[in-house]
Structure formats: structure tokens, C-alpha cells
Amino acid sequence: MEVNKKAYEAYVKEVTPVNKKLPNIIKAFLVGGIICTIGQICTTLIMNQGVEKDTASAWTTLILIAASVILTGLNIYPKITKFGGAGALVPITGFANSVVAPAVEFKAEGQVFGIGCKIFTIAGPVILYGILSSWILGVIAYVLKAFGIV
Amino acid sequence: MQVGKASIKFEEPPVIESMASIVGKKEGEGPLGKLFDVVEQDDMFGADTWEKAESALQKQTADLAIEKGDVRKKDIRYLFAGDLLGQLIATSFGTVDLEIPLFGLFGACSTMGEALNLGSMTVAAGYADKVMAMASSHFATAEKQFRFPLGYGSQRPSSSSWTVTGCGAVILTKHRKEGIAAITGITTGRMVDMGIKDSMNMGAAMAPAAFHTIQQNFDDFNVDENYYDKIITGDLGQVGRTILLDFMKNKGHDLETIHTDCGIEIFDPDSQDTHAGGSGCGCAASTLCSYILPKIKDGTWKRVLFVPTGALLSTVSFNEGETIPGIAHGVMIEHIDN
Amino acid sequence: MEFVKAFLVGGAICAVVQVVMDNTKLMPGRIMVLLVVIGSILGALGIYQPFSDWAGAGATVPLLGFGNSLWKGVLKSMGEDGFLGVFKGGFTASAVGISGALIFGYLGSIIFKPKMKS
């Protein structure tokens, strides 16, 4: 082929239309903002019952997850993500969506190898690297503390 | 007769005597909607899993091609068929009841071209009086296997394509004076890898392969774009078309008016939100059997170069950081004058 | 006021991530991993918690907050159980989120059927 691969890559970049950036950012802002506001409303309402903040946050997390699962089941959450992009991906509801979506999809392949394995396909890495990174940071903090540095 | 490096010219061209196309709801709502034999409103095709749905789709399409051609099933000596799924499960389960000796093919979205290449060779060589060529894809099975579960939300870039839920089947028969169209020659594509890694831009991965096959066809038969009324690629989409036309122009061929692409024809990107166009084996196959062949039959187009294109990647190769090589198979289809 | 803060901060975080996604072609799975890891690093650096106290749900609802709470859990358990706590804290702190997602996710898979995109 007369065009080399590097030149082709640059050429492809040139002819491939890019997503409209500004509208996408605005939509992400709106959707993400709305989801977080709903979260804040939940937290505030629960705290008004005399519950302390961390517990109220935990309840909020549960409520948002449950809502996301239902919206995914009703095929609404994918539409929200399609519109809002990162706005629907970044909040905890996006994480819940990534758990329930493969579980529903792979149900046909059985309880263990279908739902059981595939429920972690997207969320598994999040859990693994979240736990791993916080562990590494914990080890560093532990060592620093042992040497009296912090 | 062998011609050039990668082509065959059939002295007694096999004839397409029957064709059938069945598609899903979304395809039925597209610009070609009225042309398909059947638009199935149930995305599950009466089955309880997506994979069974695609198998049912193949079975129904094969049955319809047999029925429309008024052919006896036992007269079809070989079946050349394929789909996009791992180990070709849509084909293997879908064609069990047909009881026709099967060659299962994987050419990604180019499968219909591969099936027509092999089918017409087999018929022209006298090894079969009748064969069937068929290819299918289903949006849900493809999405599930190659991308994300359907319920998972994501934004698709504008270069991405939409896998067609559809199947097309043709019955080829040995040379005779009547039929839908004749296959006068083939140009078999080779792997072309230009180092594209973006699985959301398949058009860019496949366009060089389409270019290579079309150029090879011109060289082997010593013709150029003026020889054809249409050159129709499989599923390059808008991005791939732009690249193909640019490449051809560099070689002095202007394909602007005679080129079209099944992926571009099958959906309306503005109202159907399909971005660059349709893709999947079912895209080229169902478009061939609903839009292209009838136009050749009625003489609107006398001579067409049909070039289904395929991007040969798997989730394994993709995750291991491999590039996406492409392939394209050329089939020369001509009007039959009665 | 707290609602406005949550809206603006949460929206801003999502908008920044959208910019990253559109410019890097990173798949959503990688984005989620990155957010959680960055969240726990920002937590360990002592940045995220004050920010979170100020921004409320705008900081806790995004996955960055999930990362921060993993770190908070590690720190807390480390105080109680020493080195063993480093292994314990992450899951303790994220228990509600992970269990909630898994349990509701499972229940969802029992109730709902796969649906076609249009």
C-alpha cells in the first residue's frame, strides 16, 4: 500500500467527524448536576429526620442505585446516558447501571456463568482497582506513620 | 477462467434464481423498508434469546428464498452461510432443519461476498447445480458480543455504525437464460491492515480493503469505473466512503456518482440516529436481496460490482491491542437480457 | 444553597469527564476505574474530604466520592486494627454501595428482560 500506516492514521483522523463537543459538555453538566441534586435532596431529607451525615449518604447511595436499576430495567437509563454521556456515567447510578445491565443481558446463560460472572464485567475492574489503590495508599500511609513521617 | 491475480471470470455465469430478505423493525423503518420481503416487528423473532432469534431469522430467510424460487430443498446441494457470532452459532443452529450440506463461513461483515464467491465457483465448476448463499446479523447479538450489554448506557461516536438486524439469502443455479441476475466474475479480497485500532471507526479499517479489491478487480479484468453502472460496498458508512473515494481518486478513478454503500442506503442517519451507517453481515446481504438485485433484474443497472466489506476483529484481539484488519470480496453481478 | 452547590459541582465534574472522554476515546469502563482510583488518591492527599464536606452530594455521588470513601475506610480501620485494617477498610466503607449494586442488580436481572435499543 502506497500510504504508510502513520500517514493513514493522521488522514483518518482528518476525515472522521468529531462529536459535537460543546453540546455534549453542556448535556453532561446538566444530567450530572441533576443526578447529584437528586442525591442532595435525598441526603437533606434523610438528615432532617435526625440521621447523621454519613448514614444519610449511605442511604442516598442505596436509593440512587435502586433507582438506576429500575430505570435500566425499563430501558430508560441507556437513553439518559446516550443523552448525558459522562453526566450519567460518572455518578454512582452509572456504576449501578454497569452492574445490572450485564446481569439482565446474560441471564440467558444461567445463574452462575451468566449472571454470576457477567455481573462483574464492567463493575469488577472498578471494585478491583478501587480496593487495590486504596490498599496501596493505606500501605504507604502505614509505613509513613511507622517511620513517624506523618 | 482465472483472470489476473485474484479473479475468476465465469464463461458460463451462475444465475441467481431466487432471493429473500428479512429484517428487523428498525431496518423496516429505514429508506429501504418497503423493499424487504418481511419486516419482523418482534426483535426476538419468536425466540427467547437473542442468539436463537438470529438463528430463527436465518431459518425463515432460507425457507423464504426456497419458497420464492419454487425450488425443492433437496435440490440445493450446498449452503454457504455465516454470521458474526463466535463459532458461528447463529448459522449452525439456524440451519440444522434445512438439512443442506453446509459450509459455515466467517468473513465478518463481508460474509455475503465470501459466500457468493465460493457459491458461484462451486456452481460454475459443475460441483453443484444449485447452492444457497446466506448471511445474517442481529443488533442485539452483535452488541452483546462485541460491545456492551444492551441495557448499559453509552454514547456512540459519530463514526460508529449500527449493526443491522437482517438476513439475506440467494439461490444460485447453473448457467441458464432466465433469472434475477448473473454472476459473471469474482475478485477475492485479501487481508489489508492499515493499523486502525478504533473499533468505533470500522469504516476507516475496511475502506483500504475495499479500495484494494476494487483496484484488483479493475486490474484483473482490465476495466475501470466506466465498466460498471454501480459499485456498491458493504458497510463502509460515511467515513469509509469518504476514504474509499479519496483513495480511488488518487489512482485516477472517480467513483463519486457510481459508488454507494449498503450501510449508507439502509438507514437514514438523521431520523434513525445510526451515525455512520449500518453494518454487519446482514447489512450487505439484506440490501443485496431487496434493493440491488431487483434493480439489476429490471435493467436499471446492467452491471454492478458488489463489494461486501468486513472488519476482522474479535474482542480478544481488540483487548490485546491488535489492529483491525479489513477484507472485501468483489462479486460482478450482471443483468440478464431475455 | 446546598442543592445549587450539588448541582454545580456534580455537573462540573461530569462536564470535565465528558471532555476527557471526547478527547481520548477512553472506554466508559476505564473512565470509571480512573475516577475511583483518582478519588482515593485525592482522599489520601487530604483534598477530597474537605471538598466533599463543602460540596455535599455533588462530590459524594460521582464515583470520585466512591474512591474517597474507600480511602476513608482504609484510614479508619487502620486506626482501629493497625496493618490488618489496610485490608479491611476498603470493603467496609464501600459495603453499602457494592452490596446495594450487586443485590439490586441481581434482583433486577430476575425481574427484567433484555430489551432492544432503538
Say whether B154 and A72 touch across the interface (CB within 8 A): no
Q: How many CB pairs under 8 A join A and B?
A: 94
Pick C118's closest partner by Cβ from B26, B149, B155.
Answer: B26
Q: Which of A113-117, C19-23, C36-40, C99-103 has the lowest mean pLDDT?
A: C19-23
Name the residue ranges covered by the structural domains of chain C.
2-111
Say what the pLDDT of residue C74 is. Answer: 97
Interface of A with C in 102-131 (CB under 8 A): 103-105, 107-108, 115, 119, 122-123, 125-127, 129-131
Measured CA to CA in angstroms, residue B210 lies from B137, B188, B244, B298 at distances of 20, 11, 7, 27
The series of mean pLDDT values per 10 residues for chain B, 338 residues long, is 97 97 97 98 96 98 98 97 97 97 97 98 98 98 94 91 97 96 98 94 96 98 98 97 97 97 96 95 98 98 98 93 97 94
CB contacts, 8 Å: C115 with chain B: 150-151
Average pLDDT, chain B: 97
pLDDT band for position C56 (50/70/90)?
A: very high
Say whether B140 and C28 touch across the interface (CB within 8 A): no
Query: Does the structure show a pLDDT above 90 at A2?
Result: no
Minimum Cα–Cα distance from C109: chain A residue: A104
Which chains reach chain A with 3 or more Cβ–Cβ distances below 8 angstroms? B, C
Measured CA to CA in angstroms, residue B318 lies from A128, B110, B198, B313, B323 at distances of 22, 19, 9, 7, 7
ipTM: 0.95
Minimum Cα–Cα distance from B212: chain A residue: A1
Tell me if residue B154 falls in helix, strand or coil.
coil
B162 interface with C at CB cutoff 8 Å:
no
CB contacts, 8 Å: B157 with chain C: 25
Residue A33's nearest CA partner among A95, A107, A84 is: A84
Contact present, C68 and C38 (Cβ < 8 Å): no
- Measured from the Cβ of residue B215, the count of other Cβ atoms closer than 10 Å reads 15
Name the residue ranges covered by the structural domains of chain A.
19-119, 123-150
Minimum Cα–Cα distance from B319: chain C residue: C27
pLDDT digits (tens, 9 = 90+) for B19-39: 999 999 999 999 999 999 999
Q: How many CB pairs under 8 A join A and C?
A: 268
CB contacts, 8 Å: C106 with chain A: 103, 115, 119
Say whether B243 and A94 touch across the interface (CB within 8 A): no
- Measured from the Cβ of residue A24, the count of other Cβ atoms closer than 10 Å reads 21
Distance of alpha carbon B98 from alpha carbon B55, whole angstroms: 12
Q: What are the residue ranges of helices labelled H in chain A?
A: 5-15, 21-47, 53-73, 77-84, 86-89, 92-105, 117-118, 123-146
Distance of alpha carbon A102 from alpha carbon C70, whole angstroms: 24
Name the residue ranges covered by the structural domains of chain B.
15-173, 181-334
pTM recorded for the entire structure: 0.95
pLDDT digits (tens, 9 = 90+) for B150-169: 999 999 888 999 999 999 99
Residue, of A4 and A90, whose pLDDT is higher? A90
The superfamily CATH assigns to domain B181-334 is Stage V sporulation protein AD (3.40.47.40)
B139 interface with C at CB cutoff 8 Å:
yes
Q: Tell me if B15-173 shares its fold with B181-334.
A: yes
Give the H or E element holding residue B101.
none
CB contacts, 8 Å: A31 with chain C: 14
Output the nine-digit C-alpha cell for B240.
469509509
pLDDT digits (tens, 9 = 90+) for A10-42: 999 999 988 778 999 999 999 999 999 999 999
**Domain B15-173: CATH class, spelled out:** alpha beta
Say what the pLDDT of residue A3 is. Answer: 61
Position A43: which residue type? T
User: What percentage of chain A reaches a pLDDT higher than 90?
Assistant: 91
